[in-house]
Amino acid sequence: MGLNYYQIKKNVLKARKLVIKGTTAAGSGHPGGSFSMAEIMGCLFYKHLKYDTKNPEWEDRDKLILSKGHASPGLFSNMAVSGYFEESKMETLRQFGTILQGHPDLKCPGVEFCGGSLGIGLSYSIGNALAAKLDEKDTRIFTVMGDGETDEGQVWEAAMTAAKYKIDNLTVILDRNFIQQDSYTEKIMPLDEHLESDDLSEMWKDASRWKTGDKWRSFGWNVIEVDGHRIEQISNAITRAKSVKGLPTIIIARTIKGKAVEHMEDNPQWHGKAAKPEFVPIIEEELESQFMISPSIIAGDMTHLENEVKRCVDGRADYIHLDVMDGQFVPNTTFDNEKIKELRPLTVIPFDTHLMINEPVRYVKDYIDAGSDIITVHTEVCDESSFGEIHDLLKSSQVGIGLAINPDTELPTWSEKFIPSLDQLIVMSVIPGKSGQTFIESSHEKIRKLTQTLKDKKFEGYIEADGGVTLDNVGACFTDGARAFVGGNAIIGQNDVRVVIREFRNRILRSRRKLLIKKANELGGTDLVNKWIDLHVVGKKKDELLQISQELGYQ
């Protein structure tokens, strides 16, 4: 389909919600492993995989082999989102007679492999890849494997075979979530270095211990390691894998089992258990409350922007905010598309280009060509016709579409028809022009109101708060409804970008936890609040939840 970053993200969200819907309706199933591979599936289904939902048997299609077949909800949900069948079909999951069985079955059109008996998907994929070569077809085989299943000897026989026959039309993606069945992989059958610490739930964070790649390398494979929840990294790895000739590629995606629902994250219990219906609305709210941090590099050393980009990468920013100022729309001048083009090769992190320039319609193409992932233009310098042009160009170029409003500007009526297809709305919380200004307090109210109006108008993008966002107000901005946060002075202006970004996330997480506790209270009073809190057994989440609940007077 070749969707842009933001649309892939939105589809991943839809798919995650369907996983919950299906498994809860069935009362069983595997949400944990479906969620750890959610972004991997998103990149395949909406960017890289060649298929035709109207003609699942299309001869020239690529093949997706889900070797870790127990994660079938994660496959079916994406098949539903991409149009193989109605989304409502997910509610038939695991029922007698449905095409959506607990493990993928060929009776479901579009399914390529009856996965579930673990350890055999790679051998099957090799057969398919060799057949494609014999037929001189341009078919690619994508195989998604679990880490637990690589305990099987057959996997390593297949690994040798793929290297021997130089099977380069095969890309394996290993969902390295560190959990198999009811425990951690490193306890059941270690794949990495011997683990000294007792705190196994923390071990996935310690990169120095990841040795799985060495095993595959020694079997003759090309190995690429990525953060398996970062769309841009997975997508880039798949593109690179496609260009490798003469050897098979494995992408080792470091993931978190149960990713995106805090109480399921990194908790073996959620390998094969469904959420209870009473929790579903809270889980949905949680899924819809993902957030992004976007440091603004103009707050750093303007003469060494390359270094500022590096600081964002090392600090694990989600996006990099690029403030383009032309000395006309705002008095200052920063940089233009040429600079962005120079910065682009430094990272795959999405570039969040904010054009504070006059007549953006004249220049938007240059900023697309420079490698922006989203481009935001100001309503103050657009009208229906020029924004329409910008909108269409961004859309056809697979670049995210953003609109920005100044503190004293309301959304113009002409913008209404574009709202459902906007990926981002920047609400300026300072008068644009420079970094380091103070957040305008009335922006809270403005974001709150906009959150409501936009929801009614079918907005599916993110509200981005831009200007004067700090550790002290970022949590409140989240509560208002913002889901992306620009940080100039408060992030790039600080010594340790990584520490400050982590703290930004903690503050936002606290607000999110509060939001969810309130929701639980609304739906089922203290009883549900306590049940919700009790689900959070891994790490220190429970302590904070209890504290929040006490503050709210629910305890």
User: Does residue 300 touch ligand DX5 according to CB under 6 A?
Assistant: no
CB of residue 230 to Zn ion, shortest distance in Å: 22
Between 290 and 437, whose beta carbon lies closer to ligand DX5?
Answer: 437
3-state secondary structure of 37: coil
Which residues in 369-428 contact Zn ion (CB under 5 A)? none
Between 186 and 466, whose beta carbon lies closer to ligand DX5?
Answer: 466
Of 321, 347, 320, 318, the closest CA to residue 502 belongs to 318
**Structure token pair of residue 529:** 């609040």
Between 147 and 466, whose beta carbon lies closer to Zn ion?
Answer: 466
> What's the alpha-carbon Rg for the chain, to the nearest Å?
24
Which residues in 329-388 contact ligand DX5 (CB under 6 A)? 354
User: Does residue 39 touch ligand DX5 according to CB under 6 A?
Assistant: no
Size of the site for Zn ion (CB under 5 A): 3
Which residues in 109-168 contact Zn ion (CB under 5 A)? none
In sequence order, what are the residues at sequence separation of 6 or more whose Cβ sits closer than 8 angstroms to the Cβ of residue 498?
Answer: 314, 315, 316
User: Does residue 311 touch ligand DX5 according to CB under 6 A?
Assistant: no
Between 67 and 489, whose beta carbon lies closer to ligand DX5?
Answer: 489
Distance CA 305, CA 173 (A): 34
Q: Give 352's strand partners.
A: 321, 374
Of 58-66, 140-148, 347-355, 450-458, which segment contacts Zn ion by CB under 5 A?
347-355
Which run of H or E residues covers position 343? helix 337-343
Q: Is 537 exposed, middle or buried (0-12, 13-18, 19+ CB in 10 A)?
A: exposed
Neighbouring CB atoms inside 10 A of 412's CB total 15
490 binds, among ligand DX5, Zn ion, none (CB under 5 to 8 A by kind): ligand DX5
Size of the site for ligand DX5 (CB under 6 A): 22
Distance CA 299, CA 495 (A): 12
User: Does residue 321 touch ligand DX5 according to CB under 6 A?
Assistant: yes
Distance CA 554, CA 389 (A): 52
Neighbouring CB atoms inside 10 A of 288's CB total 11
Of 476, 466, 465, 471, the closest CA to residue 490 belongs to 471
Q: Give 66's strand partners.
A: 144
User: Does residue 308 touch Zn ion according to CB under 5 A?
Assistant: no
CB of residue 397 to ligand DX5, shortest distance in Å: 23
81 binds, among ligand DX5, Zn ion, none (CB under 5 to 8 A by kind): none
Q: Are strands 179-180 and 183-184 parallel, antiparallel or unpaired?
A: antiparallel
For residue 265, the one-letter residue type is E
The alpha carbon of 202 is separated from its chain's Cα centroid by a whole number of angstroms, namely 21
469 binds, among ligand DX5, Zn ion, none (CB under 5 to 8 A by kind): ligand DX5
User: Does residue 229 touch Zn ion according to CB under 5 A?
Assistant: no
User: Does residue 463 touch ligand DX5 according to CB under 6 A?
Assistant: no
Distance CA 73, CA 80 (A): 10
Query: Within 13 Å of residue 213, how many CA atoms lie on the same side as its CB?
Result: 14
Tell which one of 26, 237, 298, 454 touches ligand DX5 (CB under 6 A): 298
Which run of H or E residues covers position 65? strand 63-66
CB of residue 523 to Zn ion, shortest distance in Å: 37
Sign of CA dihedral 79, 81, 86, 88: positive
158 binds, among ligand DX5, Zn ion, none (CB under 5 to 8 A by kind): none
User: Does residue 434 touch Zn ion according to CB under 5 A?
Assistant: no
User: Does residue 436 touch ligand DX5 according to CB under 6 A?
Assistant: yes
Under a CB-based contact definition with an 8 Å cutoff, are residues 322 and 354 in contact? yes
468 binds, among Zn ion, ligand DX5, none (CB under 5 to 8 A by kind): ligand DX5
Between 67 and 435, whose beta carbon lies closer to ligand DX5?
Answer: 435
- Dihedral angle over CA of 151, 156, 157, 161, nearest 10: 150
Between 47 and 354, whose beta carbon lies closer to Zn ion?
Answer: 354
Query: Which stretches within 175-300 are classed as H helix?
Result: 185-188, 212-218, 231-243, 280-288
CB of residue 317 to ligand DX5, shortest distance in Å: 13
Tell which one of 281, 388, 433, 524 touches ligand DX5 (CB under 6 A): 433
**Structure token pair of residue 526:** 């203290």
Mask: binding to Zn ion, 314-333, rule CB under 5 A, as x and -?
A: ---------x----------
CB of residue 129 to ligand DX5, shortest distance in Å: 47
Between 339 and 531, whose beta carbon lies closer to Zn ion?
Answer: 339
User: Does residue 352 touch Zn ion according to CB under 5 A?
Assistant: no
Tell which one of 354, 378, 483, 513 touches Zn ion (CB under 5 A): 354
Between 174 and 305, whose beta carbon lies closer to Zn ion?
Answer: 305
Of 553, 539, 540, 545, the closest CA to residue 516 belongs to 545
Which residue minimizes CB distance to ligand DX5?
488
Which run of H or E residues covers position 342? helix 337-343
Of 211, 237, 208, the closest CA to residue 224 belongs to 237
Tell which one of 318, 373, 464, 466 touches Zn ion (CB under 5 A): 466
Mask: binding to ligand DX5, 385-424, rule CB under 6 A, as x and -?
A: ----------------------------------------
User: Does residue 467 touch ligand DX5 according to CB under 6 A?
Assistant: yes
Residues near Zn ion (CB under 5 A): 323, 354, 466
Residues near ligand DX5 (CB under 6 A): 296, 298-299, 321, 323, 354, 430, 432-437, 466-469, 486-490
